[in-house]
Amino acid sequence: MSRESVMASNGQPPPSREAAAVVGCLRSHSTFVMCAHEKPDGDVLGSGYALGLALKALGKRVIYFLDDEVPKNLRFMPEWHLSQRTFDGVPDDAIFVFFDMSDQSRAGSALQWVPGERIVDIDHHLGNKRFGHWNYVAESEAATGSLVLHLITALGVEITPDISTCLLATLVSDTGCFQYSNASPHTMRLGAALVEAGANKDLIIEQLYYTRSLGGQKVLGRALETAELTGDGICYSVVTQGLLEEFGATHEDLEDVVGALRVVEQCEVAALFKETPAGDFRLSMRSRGRFNVMQIARALGGGGHFRAAGATVRGPIQSAIATVLKAVRDEMARETRARKA
């Protein structure tokens, strides 16, 4: 590796003009609302709580708005208990910080009224729409939390053990505990720095990867038992509302299922169909690395990353499967043509 690439991987995300503008906004306003995407994960919540703690250290007012419940396995994070589902106490001049989402619609219905001129957008998804007045977007970063770490450092706030725990949770969450290809040397170094700053690594990993409900494990077993593998490398399975009810499980318990499909030999694209109470399906996709599942998700009205993406597709299940298999095959054909060209 050249000296330049070692230096690049060792540093923070490039201190861009975008980042400087966000820092200016954070310094010059006094009240902030931290906003999460639907089905919140470790990256979006950890990013919000970390920046919230830093802004409080600067004497700012911080409100954590969440239209969902905090998932049980994320209730170890400092600040989680302060998340609120209303806009009580939000003044007219509050700034809304949206984390970890490529467009405002991912924030869910309760946040659609917020005008762009009051929005800060901090994100690492491919194709972010830059829907804020201030946008700090770096697709190269493994987690939004890495951008937040850069902002907190630029604000001159000390990285306390609590902030470190929130930020390490973002990295652990979005890299599959540093296993996925997005865990670059730079990401690993950020992780090491956060452990040095006092992050509770053992607690994070125990909560995110080694704490599961028995019902959820049984649903995983059933989803694997009924999985299909097509001749062209699509491995998929379905989790119905009936199956969840049978074992007293929820969508929150399904985090590991699509990854367990992806490890199947010959699987290029894994797809999990999770039935919603309304009879539609939340689709989770993972790629082994050849095909870009974000493009497939986008064709279905969703989004994500190259190797992990999602969308919502209409039921009934047979038509949902047909729609998704066709979208996967379109992308496979496009990639194969592009490779030959």
The CA-based angle 51-54-57, given to 5 degrees, is 150
Binding of residue 123 to Mn ion (CB under 5 A): no
Q: Looking at the chain, how many residues does it have?
A: 341
Q: How far is CA 35 from CA 8, 301, 310, in A?
A: 30, 22, 20
Pick the binder of ligand AMP from 63, 97, 257, 309 (CB under 6 A). 309
**302 touches ligand AMP by CB under 6 A:** yes
Query: Does 108 interact with ligand AMP (rule: CB under 6 A)?
Result: no
- Interaction between residue 307 and ligand AMP (CB under 6 A): no
73 binds, among Mn ion, ligand AMP, none (CB under 5 to 8 A by kind): none
Selection from ligand AMP, Mn ion, none that 271 binds (CB < 5 to 8 A by kind) is none
Give the residue from 283, 212, 273, 215 showing the smallest Cα distance to 244.
215
- Of 23-31, 52-60, 238-246, 304-312, the segment contacting ligand AMP by CB under 6 A is 304-312
Least Cβ distance, residue 173 to Mn ion (angstroms): 8
302 contact choice in Mn ion, ligand AMP, none (CB below 5 to 8 Å, kind-dependent): ligand AMP
| Residues numbered 114-173 forming contacts with ligand AMP, rule: CB under 6 A | none
Exposed, middle or buried, 240 (CB in 10 Å: 0-12/13-18/19+)? middle
Contact between 305 and ligand AMP (CB under 6 A)? Answer: yes
Q: Taking CB under 5 A as the rule, does residue 44 contact Mn ion?
A: yes
DSSP secondary structure code for residue 99 in this structure: E
> Residue 297 Cβ, how far from ligand AMP at the closest point, in Å?
6
Contact pick of 38, 79, 100, 331 for Mn ion (by CB under 5 A): 100
Q: Taking CB under 6 A as the rule, does residue 310 contact ligand AMP? A: yes
In the list 153, 213, 312, 323, the residue contacting ligand AMP (rule: CB under 6 A) is 312
Name the closest residue to Mn ion (Cβ): 43
Q: How far is the CB of 295 from ligand AMP (least distance, A)?
A: 12
Q: Report which of 285, 273, 254, 284 is spatially closest to residue 315, judged by C-alpha positions.
A: 273
Residue whose beta carbon is closest to ligand AMP: 310
Per CB under 6 A, 42 contacts ligand AMP: no
Looking at 89-97, 155-163, 201-209, 302-310, which segment touches ligand AMP (CB under 6 A)? Answer: 302-310
| Spatial separation of the C-alpha atoms in residues 171 and 183, rounded to whole Å | 8
- Tokens encoding 3: 């000296």
Q: Does 43 bind Mn ion (CB under 5 A)?
A: yes
Q: What angle do CA 123, 113, 16 make, to 5 degrees?
A: 25
Residues 6+ apart with CB under 8 A from 63: 31, 32, 33, 34, 84, 89, 90, 94
Candidate segments 57-65, 137-145, 212-220, 297-305, binder of ligand AMP by CB under 6 A:
297-305
CB closer to Mn ion out of 96 and 98: 98
Choose the one of ligand AMP, Mn ion, none that binds residue 304, judging by a C-beta under 5 to 8 angstroms depending on kind.
ligand AMP
Query: Contact between 149 and Mn ion (CB under 5 A)?
Result: no
Q: By three-state DSSP, how is residue 259 classified?
A: helix
How far is it, in rounded angstroms, from Cα 109 to Cα 91?
20
Separation of alpha carbons 236 and 230, rounded Å: 9
> Can residue 250 be called a binding residue for ligand AMP (CB under 6 A)?
no
Question: 137 in helix, strand or coil?
Answer: strand
Give, as ranges, the residues between 125 and 144 that touch Mn ion (CB under 5 A).
Answer: 144
Residue 14: how many other CB atoms lie within 10 Å: 12
Angle formed by the axes of helices 201-209 and 161-174, to 10°?
40
The residue among 267, 179, 283 whose CA lies nearest residue 230 is 267
According to the binding rule CB under 6 A, does residue 284 interact with ligand AMP?
Answer: yes
Residues that bind Mn ion in the complex, under the rule CB under 5 A: 41, 43-44, 100, 144, 174
